[in-house]
A and B are shown apart, each in its own frame.
Chain A
């Protein structure tokens, strides 16, 4: 049981390049999330998907797009990368139908934009 799997683990991009971060979960969770983690800022929600076929903006959505491909997969796309998007990106999933259910996190993608 792999939980939440993110690819790639590391990536270096040049300003203006595009790329897609992949996330898949095998826990049959309804909800999936993308966060970025920056020093002193904690976790900030970029986008989330309450269920297959729906996506909503979080706290810091600018410069990103997402796709909930199916129940398992939730990808994050940077169309034109900027140095301010240098960060560690975490994908998470949860089952919102049960009270008190925590989120399960992937190992993160460390992204550097030059």
Chain B
């Protein structure tokens, strides 16, 4: 069975700080990986995805993530966060099942 773990539950940063959110998954085969963002009061929106090819994936709004197969990880990064990045971030993995499994989410607060 597939599973995903997000280690950081709450992250507080100041504007211009760098961001890295951890995501580790458990599944022995080929996976599709996703990061979603949920702004306050809104629905989940896709930030970026990986399904094959270059393990460094670039998404919207300056976010990127790196798939490291040996570490079963897909960490989300942004060099310089903005106040508008305040949101909840969810990692998701889709392996043998076509239904993705979501992590519990990381709440990011960026202070201006």
Instruction: Say yes or no: B105 contacts A42, CB within 8 Å.
Output: yes
Q: What number of B residues sit within 8 Å (CB to CB) of A?
A: 21
Interface residue range, chain A: 20 to 34
Q: Answer whether residue B74 sits at the interface, using C-beta atoms and an 8 A cutoff.
A: no
Q: Which of A31, A45, A92, A107 contacts B98 (CB 8 A)?
A: A31
Instruction: Say yes or no: B104 contacts A41, CB within 8 Å.
Output: yes
Q: Answer whether residue B67 sits at the interface, using C-beta atoms and an 8 A cutoff.
A: no
- Cα A31 to Cα B97 in complex, Å, equals 13
Residues of A contacting B52 in the complex (Cβ-Cβ under 8 angstroms): 99-100
Instruction: Say yes or no: B99 contacts A48, CB within 8 Å.
Output: yes
Instruction: Say yes or no: A96 contacts B46, CB within 8 Å.
Output: no
Contact A42-B103, Cβ < 8 Å, known A96-B98, A100-B52, A107-B42: yes
Residues of B contacting A108 in the complex (Cβ-Cβ under 8 angstroms): 43
Instruction: Say yes or no: A105 contacts B43, CB within 8 Å.
Output: yes
Contact A90-B44, Cβ < 8 Å, known A40-B9, A99-B32, A100-B32: yes
- Ranked 5 nearest A-B pairs via Cβ: A100-B51, A42-B104, A105-B43, A43-B102, A96-B98
* B residues whose Cβ falls under 8 Å from a Cβ of A: 9, 32, 34, 36, 42-46, 49-52, 90, 98-100, 102-105
